[in-house]
Chain A
Amino acid sequence: MNDWTRDEMMTVAAARLLWDECVCFVGIGLPSAACNLARLTHAPEIVLVYESGTLGTRPDVLPLSIGDGELAETAACVISLPEVFSYLLQAGRVDVGFLGAAQVDRHGNLNSTVIGPYDAPKTRLPGAGGATEIAAHARQTFVMLKATPRSLVPKLDFCTSGGFLDGNGARARTTMRGGGPQAVITDYGVLTPATGTDELQLTALFHGATVDEARAATGWALKVAANVETVPVPTAVELETLRALHSRTREAHNRPVQLPV
């Protein structure tokens, strides 16, 4: 199938990184679509954890918020927030954390707090939420964001969530227990950290994307791995499943809600 969009390719590429039965802490937006696509295709027993405390949830449509009622109704169980953050995340019981961000730097550090100075912000963003501790404690994290020189930046305006910090093993010298960002999925391809330096480098391109395009969309001098894979295009099943999920979601979100009396 050739009629896929880069957005769809991003979601499919991210979904393929997940495996059956993995325990996955899900952020809202692109990560939520990728995690549910994985569940509906190759990873039926994936355990999706939303930070609202819904464990093993199996929503029919993508939630708008991380706490929509359907997440609770389809969950294996619902736990409190202190339990989510201390007993699951801090205790190392999450395999994969899936994060988005406004900015990422070459060592996979993330900004979701502010553009401009903290005390005089140009744009105030929502802030950390669960991301800081997901980035610290999940056994590994995957990051999804669209690539522009303003999102893949040489220096973050603010570090909300630590990746490999200054690189060259800096993270390993902290008490952060998780393994850090193992893949950054952009709309041109995938960056992964180089052994030793921890610097993100281009290791996979989507069909139709080029190294020049990747370099132009990256705000630092992007290193390119010796062998850059081409990510296989979405299968018919992946595309149909993803489109049906989005279509059910649109319909559900447009359905008027009866005001309580």
Chain B
Amino acid sequence: MKGKVLMLDEAIARHVQDGACVALEGFTHLIPFAAGHEIIRQGRRNLHLVRMTPDLVYDQMIGMGCASRLTFSWGGNPGVGSLHRLRDAVEQHWPGALEIDEHTHAGVAAAYCAGAARLPFATLRGYLGTDLPAVNSRIRSVECPFTGERLAAVPAINPDVTILHAQRADRQGNVSLHGIVGAQREAAFAARALVVTVEEIVDALPPAMNGIVLPHWIVSAVAVCPGGAYPSYVQDHYARDNGFYQRWDTIARDRDGFRAWMERHVLGCRDHASFLKSLREAA
């Protein structure tokens, strides 16, 4: 693969521009934290962030002022409580106003599928009995031309760039991932550019009949980044740090404490390896 293996900072500089629509996907598992941190370090602004579950990675990016718009369907710290930086942005517009485009999981999943197929919108028997369509004009309905049933319609999601983390890639740029796979395949095919961080690059991928392989011609860049999903996890490599997710509730609760943590562990570290080292030293 000619020129596809980049350092993470090069991959982000090349593929993530100010104002872009960016989806860092991974449902609890394989969340691309290292890439999110690099976007913060490079000071990207006015991003339209897309993710089903913003999770800590978008809490950090929103709190550091990277985003002006968020498409999402569940914005909490799983099993812990609030995402305090997301809440502060929505409730108090800190550090800036954040426009929200709020959906359900089924709606975002369908919108990624439509985006992957380059269809203009997705239909689903969804958003029934909820107030969401009253607050989000992008949730509309269409009539089935065969039965006359009213079905929900949401516009396709086609990110300028989707960023994923995966177990491995081969030297040609094929990317292999397994475990909980969320909507990563759909988000990958829906994107105009695809950047993937991986635990390792290997000579040949193991056979993956029905496993997910993202073929090399849809992959724009691969960066080797061991530990790149931490504090999320990588099946068969390292576990989710549930303790960190619990501690984040305290770290992110107030603005100053959050800023100090980000300055020390993200802005003050040149890459993901030094981020992990700084956490080991602080432990």
- Which A residues are closer than 8 A to B by beta carbons? 28-29, 51-54, 63-69, 71-73, 78, 80-82, 84-86, 89-90, 109, 113, 118-119, 121-133, 135-137, 158-163, 165, 171, 174-177, 253-254, 256-261
Q: Assess A65 versus B28: contact at CB under 8 Å? Given A82-B112, A90-B106, A259-B227.
A: yes
Q: How far does the alpha carbon of A181 sit from the alpha carbon of B245 in the complex, in Å? A: 32
Assuming the A-B contacts A69-B29, A80-B185, are A253 and B242 also in contact, with contact meaning beta carbons closer than 8 angstroms in the complex? yes
Contact count band on B = 35 or more
Q: Judge whether A127 and B180 touch: CB under 8 Å.
A: no
Q: How far is the CA of A85 from the CA of B76 in the complex (A)?
A: 20
Taking a contact as CB atoms closer than 8 A, the residue among B27, B129, B230 that contacts A259 in the complex is B230
Q: Is the CB of A260 within 8 A of B130?
A: no
- Inter-subunit contact A52/B182 (CB<8 Å): yes
Of chain B, the residue at the smallest CB distance from A157 is: B131
Choose from B128, B181, B241 the contact partner of A176 (Cβ within 8 Å).
Answer: B128
Q: Which residue of A lies closest to B89 (CB)?
A: A124
Q: Is B205 in contact with chain A by the CB < 8 A criterion?
A: no
A82 and B238 contact, Cβ closer than 8 Å, known pairs A66-B28, A67-B28, A161-B130:
no
- B residues touching A (Cβ–Cβ < 8 Å)? 27-29, 52-53, 72-76, 78-80, 82-83, 86-87, 90-91, 102-106, 109-110, 112-113, 124-132, 135, 149-150, 179-183, 185-186, 226-227, 230, 233-235, 237-246, 276, 279-280, 283
Cα-based distance from A224 to B239 in the complex (angstroms): 48
A-B contact pairs, 5 of them (CB 8 A): A81-B27, A82-B113, A121-B91, A132-B130, A175-B150
Which A residues lie within 8 Å of B276 (CB)? Answer: 259-261
User: A178 — nearest CB in chain B belongs to which residue?
Assistant: B128
| Contacting residue for A90 out of B126, B181, B186, B234, CB 8 A | B126
Smallest Cβ distance from B43 to chain A, in angstroms? 26
Most B C-beta atoms less than 10 A away, residue of A51, A68, A132, A135 = A132
* With A53-B182, A82-B110 as contacts: A129 and B149 at CB distance below 8 Å: no
B115 vs chain A, min Cβ distance (A): 12
Given A67-B180, A128-B103, A129-B104, residue A257 in contact with residue B241 (CB < 8 A): yes
Residues of chain A lying within 8 A (CB to CB) of residue B53: 129
Most buried by B among A135, A175, A177: A175
Contact assessment for B79 and A28 in the assembled complex, using a CB-CB cutoff below 8 Å: yes
Report A-chain residues with C-beta under 8 Å of the C-beta of B244: 257
Residues of B within 8 A of A86 (CB): 106, 109-110, 124
Q: Is the CB of A80 within 8 A of B182?
A: yes
Q: Which 3 interchain pairs have the tightest Cβ spacing?
A: A162-B129, A67-B28, A126-B76
Q: Is the CB of B106 within 8 A of A89?
A: yes
A137 to B128, CA, bound (A): 10
User: B80: which of A64, A71, A127, A254 is its contact (CB, 8 Å)?
Assistant: A64
Known contacts A51-B105, A82-B110, A109-B129; A90 and B124 CB within 8 A of each other: yes
Given contacts A129-B104, A261-B227, contact A160 B182 (CB under 8 A): no
* Residue with the highest number of chain A CB atoms closer than 10 Å, among B72, B79, B102: B79
Q: Which residues of A contact B238 (CB under 8 A)?
A: 257-258, 260
* Complex-state Cα separation, A67 to B231, whole angstroms: 13
B242 CB contacts on chain A under 8 angstroms: 64-65, 68, 253, 257
Chain A residues, CB < 8 A from B135: 118-119
